[in-house]
Amino acid sequence: MPAGAGLTLFRVGGIRIAVDFSWFFVLFLVILWLSGFYRSVLDVSTEAMAPYALAVISALLFFASILLHELGHAFVAVRKGIGIADITLWMFGGVARMQRDSDSPGTEFQIAIAGPLVTLAIVLATGGIGLALAGERDFWEAMRVEDGATIPAALAVVAWLTSINLLVLLFNLIPAYPLDGGRVARSIAWRITGDRSGATRFAAALGQGFAWLLIAVGLFLLIDGDPLGGIWLGVLGFVLYQSARAAQVQSEVASRISGVTVGDVMDREPVAIPEALSVSEALDDYFLRYRWPWFPVVDAAQRFRGLLKRGAADAVPEPRRDFATVRDVAEADAGGDFRVREDEPLESLLGNESLRRLGALMAVDAEGRLRGVITLDQVGRALRTALSRSD
């Protein structure tokens, strides 16, 4: 699955929305197929532009619905204090990359089910429009999406959008990790057993089983004379298998560091800059002295407030550096992306996007006071030590 690459389109609430380059290939295939379908429905010549226009509109609306699905996940994640690195549309749909894992089965369930609920709302909305346009009988006929059917253009678009989103909804609810249904299954197993790693292994096993089923069906279609459908299902099955396998491996690694907390590994003597300090003092006493690219910022009660990066401090004009404070230019930790509780299990940092990007996280206590810094290197050493002891 895409990992943050691709072409940035825009941002929604600070979340980067991007498209992987494989998305353009799928967009072309969808438009190609739909233009033929609409040409048959409208019964027009190959030179007519209307089928192509309808195909482009339908394809863009479909991918907009995929984006809304992922924004559903993202909205709930942010509400739960989990940052979203980006949302990327790619050849098999969309991915909202969370900066850390869910901290409870309830949070996991709510984030997982949010996307399908958005898709369900889209199905109900487009279905309602279709029923209003054509009535129940004609709309259900239009939803069969058959070549040669004679239906108005607007109804054909609405019926196709309803059908494809219904298919997406049903597919995503299959209890196979990393599909949304698999994440729901993981949350339920986590709730019942209290074991996050075991629940992940269970959901990943379901995902691997479903992936093999897709590959088998793909091979059957390939032999049966449907090469495009066979290859598509086979590749989809392979991608799902790889994703489920990666989750299973991560779970096995997490089980080996069970019981180890952030506080067991972190540096307990962090160097932090008081937010009331001037930018000039911060540059002289911290950046020039330690040569680090950034420092955590704390208030008078030692509560973690954010990060001061060298670039932000250098950007302040020299005449203002004696008057501007660190608080004025520091990057606030509004979403909690730069911090982790010191009593959190170390396994919660596996796959943490902020840790990978920043190289470290600030360890805080229950009141938000800075207690230490845990680096990517420290996590790596702890993992290597745990793995060597288990071998």
Q: What is the mean pLDDT of the chain?
A: 87
Read off the pLDDT of each residue in 90-114 and give the average, rounded to a whole number.
87
The residue extents of the domains of the chain are 7-173, 193-256, 262-390
Mean pLDDT comparison of 30-39, 207-216, 253-262, highest-scoring range: 207-216
Read off the pLDDT of each residue in 239-253 and give the average, rounded to a whole number.
82
Q: What is the pLDDT of residue 147?
A: 53
Q: How confident is the model at residue 145 (pLDDT cuts 50, 70, 90)?
A: low
Judged against a pLDDT cut of 80, whether residue 148 lies above it is answered with no
Residue type, 285: D
**Geometric angle at alpha carbon 386, from 383 and 388, rounded to 5°:** 105
Judged against a pLDDT cut of 80, whether residue 351 lies above it is answered with no
Q: How confident is the model at residue 150 (pLDDT cuts 50, 70, 90)?
A: low
How far apart are alpha carbons 67 and 74 in whole angstroms?
Answer: 10
Give CA torsion, residues 346, 350, 352, 353, to 10 deg.
150
Q: How confident is the model at residue 256 (pLDDT cuts 50, 70, 90)?
A: confident
Q: What is the pTM of this model?
A: 0.74
Backbone angles phi, psi at 360, to 5 degrees: -165, 160
Q: How confident is the model at residue 162 (pLDDT cuts 50, 70, 90)?
A: very high
Of 303, 305, 307, the C-alpha closest to 366 is 303
Strand order in the sheet with 370-375: 339-341, 360-364, 370-375
Q: Any alpha helices (H) in the chain, and if so which ranges? A: 21-42, 50-79, 105-142, 153-172, 180-193, 196-223, 227-256, 262-265, 279-282, 288-290, 310-314, 326-329, 353-358, 376-390
HSE-up of residue 282 (Cα within 13 Å, Cβ side): 35
How far apart are alpha carbons 250 and 270 in whole angstroms?
Answer: 29
Q: Which residues contact 148 (CB under 8 A, 6 or more apart)?
A: 40, 41
DSSP, residue by residue, 19-35: E-HHHHHHHHHHHHHHH
Q: Rg of the chain over CA atoms, in angstroms?
A: 25
Q: What is the pLDDT of residue 3?
A: 56
CB-CB contact of 144 with 167 (8 Å): no
More confident residue, 347 or 65: 65
Percent of residues, the chain, with pLDDT higher than 90 = 47
How far apart are alpha carbons 157 and 54 in whole angstroms?
Answer: 7
Q: Classify domain 262-390 by CATH number.
A: 3.10.580.10
Q: What is the pLDDT of residue 37?
A: 81
Q: How confident is the model at residue 260 (pLDDT cuts 50, 70, 90)?
A: confident
DSSP, residue by residue, 15-81: EEEEE-HHHHHHHHHHHHHHHHHHHHHHT--TT-SHHHHHHHHHHHHHHHHHHHHHHHHHHHHHHTT
Q: What is the pLDDT of residue 205?
A: 92
Strand order in the sheet with 7-12: 7-12, 15-19, 84-90, 93-98
Q: How confident is the model at residue 139 (pLDDT cuts 50, 70, 90)?
A: confident
Of 284, 286, 290, the C-alpha closest to 273 is 286
* Structure-token pair, residue 107: 């949070």
Question: What b-and-e string marks burial along 180-207, b requiring 16 or more CB atoms within 10 Å of the CB?
Answer: bbbbbbbbbbbeeeeebbbbbbbbbbbb
Q: What is the pLDDT of residue 390?
A: 53
Q: What is the pLDDT of residue 329?
A: 94
How far apart are alpha carbons 351 and 99 in whole angstroms?
Answer: 8
Q: How far apart are the first and last CA of the chain?
A: 30
Judged against a pLDDT cut of 70, whether residue 97 lies above it is answered with yes
Q: What is the pLDDT of residue 69?
A: 95
